[in-house]
A and B are shown apart, each in its own frame.
Chain A
């Protein structure tokens, strides 16, 4: 029997974690002599009260949705894919190939093509660790993180020696052709007298991320493959005994995970930078782990957690712009949220569970009596 109701696990635990993180962050800000309430107001105003702020929040959230989903799909098979960073980099290479070398007539077709290549490249980068895990028992945590470094070197080589336009000093590809530029929220929602989302980077790939959430939900909870993935994750031996092919599940789960991570590049590379740059992933692959943890590996949870992290990133930018809080402390605040919602989960959960158990003893349910 569950120690506390599901809603409490899904709502109360993250909520208390967030409050704790906020309190500790407030102390940090106080300690350097700034006003925590003013700082919080600035973050909320900058990230949520202006449409351009939302444009940035949703842009970051799009990245985190993809990488969060990538981590959670693999985690349903109890595979800890921490190579989202490298898979997203390869995804970026795929997007660049699609946008640079194919003359697309329309952005929608370009989106389709680049998303396909991004997913393929990301999945391919996850294939080798998956194979090594399934056939050779090399732990996927070790191999995926090592593959991140290989991906960085590969990307560096490609940008410096192959894709860089001659004469340019910046290790980046050429600008993609205008026909591949994705419509931003400004293009979609702004009217001449209502300039919404002005110059914010959020773009149509946010909807691709939402579609990915739905896809993952259906895959994990509504298909036979999803059932096999979860079964394999909960008990490998039972799944193998029931006739599940472990190699197949390991490889497929990692391929889907890598493809989702690769798709992130559509947002950053085609949607925002409109060219491939060296630092296009900027840690989103790792943030995805925290997002998946906080979102309890459920697509809806991942969506909410991604929005929260998007808010933290955009709010952090506002703090950096308008206060003298140094960027290192802004990272500390972001890290505190990750620490409390991810790593110190049990610190909040255990007292809550005790509380619910105590409440239950006072009012024994009918089930309890019949037992």
Chain B
């Protein structure tokens, strides 16, 4: 058999398998892993919910290296997966190029940004600063010491975006409030370092912080633990983390990645693409978690203030400045 024939054969097999493949959706997790108790896990939960409801299956991959981003996109698209849902901003620019080669496949990216969005790509973003603003208000109202803390994962724009909204909310309640902001680390391990999170929380407590907001993926588990041990309040992120330490977690800033993934898979091949969707307070894409675990911590005044601010943000009367607008934050220096 000549080389030529071999390749034709391989191409034919590929075409056959692509045609025969059931168009199941695929989910590509960002580096950092599927079970991070936060961002990626929320995506998995959304996909699992879809799978349970429809009795279908989905393909998934946890990436191990940067080069696998493009590889996973292409191989899933070639295998007939539709739609291909990806999480994390880091894959967006590659997605923008790869998507053009597979016009029949729909791609979704959560958190990403592209200057031009191809016709078969949908970007889903979240107004994290709006949700963070609300939890910042609650933190300032719950604080007795006049000092609140913020612990981020890596020092990247996205995390500054969280911290900036938080600081604006806190300052709106108490203009003299002191905000201590720390980032966990400079390597990707910063997203999964609960020990370091715990140490940073202790350091912030010794500086007087009595409410700490953690936006640091798996690292936040350590922050919440230490806050509960030291008898101060903490604020969870992405998923509802109130139940982790009932009565010690003031609230959680919800980012409904699960809903975004669920809806994308539910629409399947008829998903509307070619643009970006930004989910904010108005769309319930972000919000504050209220449940039985934090009912005793949230006063009526807090509820009223949050509800008021929420309505004003939705109506446009109150504008929370996004860090991305000028790459700087009016309420906090990083």
Q: Which residues of A are in contact with B by a Cβ distance under 8 Å?
A: 50, 56, 59-60, 149, 152-153, 156, 160, 164, 166-172, 175, 193-196, 199, 201, 268, 272-273, 275, 277-280, 282, 313, 316-317, 320-321, 326-327, 330-331
Contact B158 A321 (CB under 8 A): no
Q: Which residues of B are in contact with A by a Cβ distance under 8 Å?
A: 3-4, 7, 10, 31, 33, 59, 61-68, 70-72, 74-76, 89-90, 92-93, 101, 111-113, 154-158, 161, 186-188, 324, 327
Which one, B71, B92, B156, contacts A56 given CB within 8 A?
Answer: B71
Decide yes or no: A170 and B89 within 8 Å by CB, A50-B10, A321-B72 being known contacts. Answer: yes
Contact A199 B186 (CB under 8 A): no
Which one, A60, A156, A278, contacts B67 given CB within 8 A?
Answer: A60
- In the complex, what residues of B have CB within 8 A of residue A320's CB? 61-64, 68
Smallest Cβ-Cβ distance to B94: which chain A residue: A273
Contact A156 B62 (CB under 8 A): no
- In the complex, what residues of A have CB within 8 A of residue B64's CB? 313, 316-317, 320, 327, 330-331
Minimal beta-carbon separation of B4 from chain A (angstroms): 6
Which one, A59, A149, A156, A282, contacts B154 given CB within 8 A?
Answer: A156
Contact A201 B62 (CB under 8 A): no
Minimal beta-carbon separation of B252 from chain A (angstroms): 22
Contact B113 A321 (CB under 8 A): no
- In the complex, what residues of B have CB within 8 A of residue A275's CB? 93
Decide yes or no: A169 and B62 within 8 Å by CB, A156-B154, A164-B157, A193-B4 being known contacts. Answer: no
Contact A273 B156 (CB under 8 A): no
Contact A171 B157 (CB under 8 A): yes
Minimal beta-carbon separation of A314 from chain B (angstroms): 9
A321 to B71 alpha-carbon distance, docked (Å): 9
Contact B65 A277 (CB under 8 A): no
Smallest Cβ-Cβ distance to A171: which chain B residue: B156
Which one, B90, B155, B187, contacts A160 given CB within 8 A?
Answer: B155
New A-B pairs, 9, CB < 8 Å, besides A152-B187, A279-B31: A59-B67, A149-B186, A156-B186, A279-B66, A279-B90, A316-B64, A317-B68, A320-B61, A330-B64
Contact A170 B90 (CB under 8 A): yes
A273 to B68 alpha-carbon distance, docked (Å): 11
Q: Which interface residue of B70, B101, B111 has the most chain A CB atoms within 10 A?
A: B70
A49 to B38 alpha-carbon distance, docked (Å): 38
A168 to B92 alpha-carbon distance, docked (Å): 11
A170 to B125 alpha-carbon distance, docked (Å): 13
Which one, B10, B71, B90, contacts A317 given CB within 8 A?
Answer: B71
Which one, A194, A195, A277, contacts B66 given CB within 8 A?
Answer: A277
Smallest Cβ-Cβ distance to B61: which chain A residue: A320
Contact A170 B92 (CB under 8 A): yes
- In the complex, what residues of A have CB within 8 A of residue B75's CB? 321
Minimal beta-carbon separation of A247 from chain B (angstroms): 32
Can you list 26 contacts pairing A with B, beta carbon distance less than 8 Å? A50-B10, A149-B186, A152-B187, A160-B156, A164-B157, A167-B324, A169-B89, A169-B113, A170-B93, A172-B93, A175-B93, A194-B3, A194-B4, A199-B74, A273-B66, A278-B188, A279-B31, A317-B65, A317-B72, A320-B62, A320-B63, A320-B64, A321-B71, A321-B75, A327-B61, A327-B64
